[in-house]
Amino acid sequence: MLEYILGFLLIWFLCWWMRDKLRVGKVSDKYVFITGCDTGFGNLAAKILDVGGFRVLAGCLTEEGAQNLRKETSSRLKTIPLDITKSDSIENAADLIKMEVGKRGLWGLINNAGIAGILCPTDWLQIEHFRRPIEVNLLGPIEMTLKLLPLIKKARGRIVNVSSVLGRLSLTGGGYFPSKFGMEAFNDSLSLQHHEKQDIWSHLPPDVKKQYGEDYLIQSDTRQEKLVKKLSSTDLSQVVWCMEHALTAKYPRTRYSAGFDAKLLWIPMTYLPTFATDYLLAQDIVIDSNAV
């Protein structure tokens, strides 16, 4: 009986693997718009898709970022000014994209732009610390999608929303986590500077400082540094590969998980009972582990 089950699983995997390898036809007439192309994932994705023959439209927040990207790509790539937090900027970008793609429509929209914001205990923060990440990571992509959806439907294209394992597992306070939980419902690297937390700490009421203790800031920075090392990677290609596959595969996957740590550690942790996950995180068992 066991050999039949193993044989079935092997056949199923081979069929899935061959199906996953199938690609769409000619891409030289397909337009793709990517947000957040000044640096990071969006910048690398724009370069790789440009090399792959796509007609890339790259949303850039700064003119400097746009100029640098144009220098390193072909004449096919066009940059578009975009501040994802401003409706008039999104409207202007949508108009430029509509003019560029014409009757062909938009094959792909990659909602990549995102920020981490400030990550620290919730009672240290003000509403502004939550609002900015939610505007960039959630509300901006939603509005961008609504504006471009008619063009995507015209091309029978795809939408790629960049979320995070931290949209399934909240590790501390701040606007990043609810924004990514929201993106999970709607469908990058963590960075936190010590001086940002130090500034917030200096403005906390004395009773709040007393609750946490003077050593908390140093301890939390050490833990934060370990967490950043665990979740961050200098290899941006893992995420960009997922983007590329989602746009070029004949049968794209519903969800992509970049990196073995996401597949083997962080996502499985989200299926544990809450008390078990909280215990592991509180004891630093996961963050200190060298298993992944």
pLDDT at 51 over 80: yes
pLDDT at 233 over 60: no
Least trusted range by pLDDT, from 2-16, 168-182, 213-227, 274-288: 213-227
Looking at residues 160-176, what average pLDDT do you find? 77
State the amino acid at position 77 in one-letter form: L
Q: Give residue 187's pLDDT band: very low, low, confident or very high (50, 70, 90).
A: low
Amino acid 191: pLDDT:
34
DSSP 174: S
Extents of the domains making up the chain = 28-204+236-258
Residue among 236, 243, 238, 262 at smallest CA distance from 40: 236
Cβ atoms 281, 223 nearer than 8 A: no
State the amino acid at position 247 in one-letter form: L
Residue among 124, 121, 136, 129 at smallest CA distance from 59: 136
Residues in the chain: 292
Looking at residues 171-179, what average pLDDT do you find? 79
Alpha carbons 204 and 15: distance in angstroms, whole number: 58
Cβ atoms 75, 52 nearer than 8 A: no
Q: Which two tokens stand for residue 81?
A: 């000014």
SS3 assignment, position 110: strand
Amino acid 35: pLDDT:
95
Owner of token pair 């959806």: 149
Alpha carbons 217 and 201: distance in angstroms, whole number: 8
- How far CA 31 is from CA of 27, 38, 189, 210, 260, in Å, comes to 8, 19, 27, 56, 31
Helix (H) or strand (E) run with residue 161 in it? strand 158-161
CA torsion sign for 252, 257, 259, 260 is negative
What per-residue string of b and e applies to 82-97 under the rule 16 or more CB within 10 Å gives b?
bbbbeeebbeebbebb
Active site residues: 176
Q: Give residue 30's pLDDT band: very low, low, confident or very high (50, 70, 90).
A: very high
Alpha carbons 119 and 192: distance in angstroms, whole number: 7
Q: Give residue 155's pLDDT band: very low, low, confident or very high (50, 70, 90).
A: very high
Q: What are phi and psi of 26, to 5 degrees?
A: -50, 130
Q: What are phi and psi of 222, to 5 degrees?
A: -65, -45
pLDDT at 266 over 50: yes
Higher pLDDT, 123 or 66: 66
Q: What is the pLDDT of residues 98-140, one digit of tens each?
A: 999 999 999 999 999 988 888 777 777 888 888 999 999 999 9
Amino acid 192: pLDDT:
36
Least trusted range by pLDDT, from 82-86, 133-137, 201-205: 201-205
Cβ atoms 221, 146 nearer than 8 A: no
Owner of token pair 């509509």: 98
Q: Give residue 247's pLDDT band: very low, low, confident or very high (50, 70, 90).
A: confident
pLDDT at 143 over 50: yes
Cβ atoms 130, 63 nearer than 8 A: no
Cβ atoms 104, 29 nearer than 8 A: yes
Highest mean pLDDT among 178-182, 197-201, 229-233, 274-278: 178-182
Domain 28-204+236-258: assigned CATH number: 3.40.50.720
